[in-house]
Amino acid sequence: MTLSPTRFWAIARKEAIQLRRDPRSLALGFLLPVLLVILFGYAITWDVDDIPTAVLDQSRTRASRELIDAFRSSGYFTVVETLERPDAIGPLMERGRILLALVVPPDFAEDMGGESPASLQALVDGSDANTASIVLGYTRAVALSYSTAIAVEGQRVALPLTGESRVWYNEDLSSRNMIVPGLVAVIMMVIAAMLTSLTIAREWERGTMEQLAATPVHRLEVVLGKLAPYLVIGLIDVVVVTLTGVLLFGVPFRGNAVLLMILATAFLIGALGLGMFISAVAKSQVLATQLAMIATFLPAFLLSGFMFAIEVMPAPLQAVTYLVPARYFLVVTRGIFLKGVGVEVLRVQGLLMIVFAVVGLALATRIFRKRIG
Amino acid sequence: MGNAMVERVLEMLRKEFRQLFRDPRMRRVIFVAPMIQLIVFGYAVSTDIRNTPTYVVDHDRSQVSRELVDAFVASGYFQVVDASERPGDLVRALDHGDAIVGLVIPKDFSRDLETGQGASVQILLDGTNSNTALVARGYAERIVASFGARSAERDPASVLALEERAWFNPDLASRNYNVPAVIGVIIMLVALLLTSLAVVREREIGTLEQLRVSPLTPGELIAGKTLPFGIIGLADLTVITVVALLWFGIPLRGSLLLLVLSSVLYLLPALGAGLLISTVSNTQQEAFMASFLVFMPVILLSGFMFPVASMPEPFQWLTLLNPLRHFLEIIRGVFLKGTGIEHLWPQLLWLAAMGPALLWLAARRFRRAD
C-alpha cells in the first residue's frame, strides 16, 4: 500500500477531534509549560547572597572588628546574630537560622602581628553542599583579600598577581538564563511523551484498537496521523515558552529562531514517537504513565545536564546520558539562546535530532506491525 | 458490623492489587524501577565541581606559566583538555562546549610577576551553567591569588589561616544531601500517579457504576482506592531507604522511628492529592496531566534542588503548603543532623494536618459525584 495524504489527513483529523472532546487535557497541554516557565523564572534561583551569618568575636580588638567589617562590606554576608558563647552556634545552625558562623579566637590580634598566622574559624552548614561550597568560596575570598592586603603592605604593588575573570554567554551568571533554555528541552520531552503515551494504550483499553486494525490504512499513516496534532501542540508550546522566557524574564535569544524551530520539530517527532512506542508496549494506561515517567521525565530532568553537570557524573552514568536525547537538544537550546551559535557548531546535535526522529518513528511503526496488520 | 466492614475493605484491596498486578510488568515497574532510579539519580544529583574541562592559551610559555597551569591541574578542580596559542581556538572550544573554562596567560607574565610589576591572567568562563561557572570562578581566582602570593615578602597564609569546618556533612558531599531528597521525590511520584488513576480508570471503563451499586459504602470505597497505594508507597519507601543506606552509605544519625512516622504522614497528602485528582478527572489522560501539574510545583518549591531561603517571600509562604518541603526538612534533618522530634514537630504537624484535609476534600467530592 502506498502512502496517501488523504488517509493520513483523515487519521490526523480523527485524532484532533478526539483531543478536542477532552478540552481539559488540551488546556493542560498549554497550561503546563507556561506554569513551569513562570515557576522557574520567578521562584527558582541558585544565586546565593545575604548569607545569614553569626559572629563570635572573642578577641574584641580593632583588628578583629576590621576583619568582621571586611565581611560585612563584601555584600555577601548579613550578620544576623552577634554571639557571646560558642555553644550558641549549634542550635542556631540546627534550626537553619544561620548558614555560617565566624569565630575570631581570643589571641587573634597578637597572632596577627607575630610569626605564626592568626586564625579565623568558619563554620558552615554543610547539609546543602552546593550552597555550602558557594558560602565557603566567598568566605575564602574575603579572608584572602584581607590577608593579602596586610601581607603586601608597603610593597610597590598592592597585588602581585590578579586573575581577571570574564564570564561569557551569561555575563551576570543568572541561574534564570541557564534554566529557561534548558526548560524548553525538558518541557518538550515531557509534554510530548505525556500527550502520546496514552493514545494507543487508550485504544487498547477501550477496545477500539481492533477497529483501527481493521481500517485499510498503512501503519506509517496511522503513526504520522496520530502524531500530527500533538506535533502542532508541541511546537506552539516551544513558541510560548521561548516568548515567555525572552519577554517576561529577559533571557537573551542570540541565535536563529528558524533553526530552533527546525531542530525542535525533529526532536518532537522523536519524543512523540517514543511516547507512542511506550503506549503500544504498555497496553494499559496505568503502566504507560509509569513507563513514560521513568523513560522520559526523570532522565530529561536529571541526566540531560539541565541542572546537574554531566562532566562530574561517574563515567558509567556519563555513558548512560548519551542515550538521553534531551541531552543533545539541551546543547541546541543553550547554544541558540545564549551562545548565538548556528549550524556550524550544532551540526552534530542536529544530525542526532534527525536520527532520534527516525528512531522514534521506526519504533512506533514497528510495534504496530507486530500488533496489527 | 465492624468486622463486615473490614471484610469488605480487604476484599476491595485484594481486587485492586489483583487488577494492578495482573500485568507482571507492573510489579517490576513499581518495585524494581524505584531502586534503579535511586541508584542512577543518586549518582546524577551531584553539584560538586571536579575536573572542569579547561582550555589553556599560554602566550608566555615559561617555566613559571607552566607552574601556574600545574597549580590548576593539581587542585583537582580543573582538567586541561587542550592548549593552543591562538585565542580563536579558545573561542571555538567554548562555543562548541568542549571547554568550560579558558585560562589565558599573557606574553610577559613571568617577567611581570618576577619584577613585581603586577601580572595578570585572564579566566574565561562559559556561564551557560551558572552554577558550575560560579563555583569554578571561585576556585580559579583563589588558585591565581595564592600563586601570586609566592612572590610576596610575606605569605598571606602566614597572616591569616582560615579554618573551615562544615557541619553535618564534613566532606561537603552533595550526595548526602540529595539522596534523601530523591527518596521523597520518587515516593511522591509513585503514590500520586497510581492514586490519581485509581478512580478515573473505573469511570473511563464504566465499572464505577458497578462499584457504586455494590454494598460498599463510599468511605469503604475510598479506603479501597487509597490503601493499596499507601501500602505500595510504604513498601517502596522501605526498599529505597535501605538502598540509600547500604549502597550510598548515607549516614542515618537520627531516629528510625521518627523516619517511619514521618513517612506515613508524608504519604497521606500524596494519596489525598491523587484521589482528589482522580475524582475530578474525566479521563486518565487528564488525570495524568493534572498529577503532573501538581507534581512539578511540588518538586520545584520543595528545596530539593533550590534552597527555599533564596525564593522570593510569597513563594516561601507557598512552600508551607507543600508536603515535600516539610518531608525534606524532616528526612534531611533525621539523616544528616540527627535532629529529633523537639525540632521537627512543626513539620510533622503540617504533614499531619495536610493529609487528612486532602483526603476529606477528596471524599466529599467523591460523594457529591453520586
Q: What is the pLDDT of residues A223-243, one digit of tens each?
A: 888 889 999 999 999 999 999
CB distance B146–A171 less than 8 Å? no
Angstrom distance (rounded) from CA A154 to CA A210: 90
CA dihedral sign of residues A166, A171, A172, A177: negative
How is the beta sheet containing B78-84 ordered, strand by strand? A161-168, B119-126, B101-105, B52-58, B78-84
Do B155 and A151 meet the contact criterion of CB atoms below 8 Å apart?
A: yes
Return the pLDDT at B329.
87
Q: 3-state class of B224 per DSSP?
A: helix
CB distance A94–B339 less than 8 Å? yes
Residues 6+ apart with CB under 8 A from A188: A234, A237, A238, A264, A267, A268, A271, A326, A329
Return the pLDDT at A369.
60
Evaluate if residue B157 carries a pLDDT over 70.
no
Angstrom distance (rounded) from CA B249 to CA B262: 21
Residues 6+ apart with CB under 8 A from B47: A129, A130, A133, A308, A309, A312, B131, B174
Look up residue A293 and give its DSSP letter. I
Instruction: Tell which A residues from 18 to 47 touch B, by Cβ distance under 8 Å.
Output: 22, 24-25, 28-29, 31-32, 35-36, 39-40, 42-47
Tell whether B149 is within 8 A of chain A (Cβ): yes
Angstrom distance (rounded) from CA B250 to CA B245: 5
- What do you get for the CA distance between the two ends of chain B, in Å? 24
Return the pLDDT at A291.
87
Return the pLDDT at B369.
60
pLDDT in tens, chain A (373 residues): 577 888 888 888 988 888 888 888 888 888 888 888 888 877 766 666 778 899 999 888 888 888 888 888 888 888 988 988 888 888 887 777 888 999 988 888 777 766 677 888 888 887 677 778 778 888 888 887 787 777 766 554 445 566 676 777 777 677 778 888 888 888 888 888 888 888 888 888 777 777 777 777 778 888 888 889 999 999 999 999 999 989 988 888 988 999 999 999 999 999 998 888 888 888 888 888 888 888 888 888 888 888 777 877 788 888 888 888 898 898 899 888 888 888 888 888 889 989 988 998 888 888 766 554 4
Contacts of B53 in chain A (CB under 8 A): 311
pLDDT tens per residue, range A83-102: 888 888 888 877 778 889 99
Do B121 and B34 meet the contact criterion of CB atoms below 8 Å apart?
A: no
pLDDT tens per residue, range B45-74: 766 677 888 999 999 889 888 999 998 998
Residue B95: how many CB atoms within 10 A of its CB?
Answer: 19
Contacts of A131 in chain B (CB under 8 A): 307
Contacts of A47 in chain B (CB under 8 A): 130, 310
Retrieve residue A38's grid coordinates. 513562570
Compute φ and ψ for A371, nearest 5 degrees. -90, -40
Least confident of A3-12, B278-287, B301-310, B316-325: B301-310
Tell whether A312 is within 8 A of chain B (Cβ): yes
Angstrom distance (rounded) from CA B184 to CA B348: 15
pTM given for the model: 0.77
Instruction: Tell which B residues from 324 to 353 touch A, by Cβ distance under 8 Å.
Output: 332, 336-337, 339, 343
Our CA-based measurement puts residue B174 at a distance from the nearest CA of chain A, in whole angstroms, of 5
CB-nearest to A168 from B23, B127, B305 is B127
Return the pLDDT at B172.
63
Retrieve residue A238's grid coordinates. 516551544
CB-nearest to A137 from B95, B120, B135 is B135
Return the pLDDT at B199.
84
CB distance A168–B126 less than 8 Å? yes
Q: CA angle at residue A301 from A295 to A306, to 5 degrees?
A: 140
Tell whether B142 is within 8 A of chain A (Cβ): yes
pLDDT tens per residue, range B73-127: 988 889 899 888 888 888 888 888 888 889 999 888 888 887 767 788 888 888 8
Tell whether A298 is within 8 A of chain B (Cβ): yes
Return the pLDDT at B56.
93
CB distance B141–A165 less than 8 Å? yes
Q: How confident is the model at residue B162 (pLDDT cuts 50, 70, 90)?
A: low
Angstrom distance (rounded) from CA A328 to CA A305: 9
Our CA-based measurement puts residue A45 at a distance from the nearest CA of chain B, in whole angstroms, of 7
Return the pLDDT at A114.
67
Q: Which of A281, A294, A312 to mutate to test the interface with B (most CBs of B within 10 A)?
A: A312
Our CA-based measurement puts residue A262 at a distance from the nearest CA of chain B, in whole angstroms, of 20
Instruction: Tell which A residues from 52 to 71 touch B, by Cβ distance under 8 Å.
Output: 52, 67
Angstrom distance (rounded) from CA B187 to CA B78: 37
**Whole-Å CA distances, A255 to A336, A343, A349:** 4, 10, 15
Contacts of B301 in chain A (CB under 8 A): 39, 43
Tell whether A344 is within 8 A of chain B (Cβ): no
Angstrom distance (rounded) from CA B340 to CA B255: 7
CB-nearest to B144 from A163, A206, A314 is A163
β-sheet bridge partners, residue B58: B105
Query: A with B: how many residue pairs have Cβ under 8 Å apart?
Result: 378
CB-nearest to A311 from B53, B190, B309 is B53
Contacts of B159 in chain A (CB under 8 A): 112, 117-118, 147, 150-151
Q: How confident is the model at residue B352 (pLDDT cuts 50, 70, 90)?
A: very high
Return the pLDDT at A373.
42
Cite the beta strand spans of chain B per DSSP E: 52-58, 78-84, 101-105, 119-126, 160-167
**Whole-Å CA distances, B333 to A99, B23, B305, B343, B345:** 15, 39, 16, 9, 12
Instruction: Tell which A residues from 97 to 156 touch B, by Cβ distance under 8 Å.
Output: 112, 115-134, 136-141, 143-148, 150-152, 155-156
Retrieve residue A343's grid coordinates. 549550524
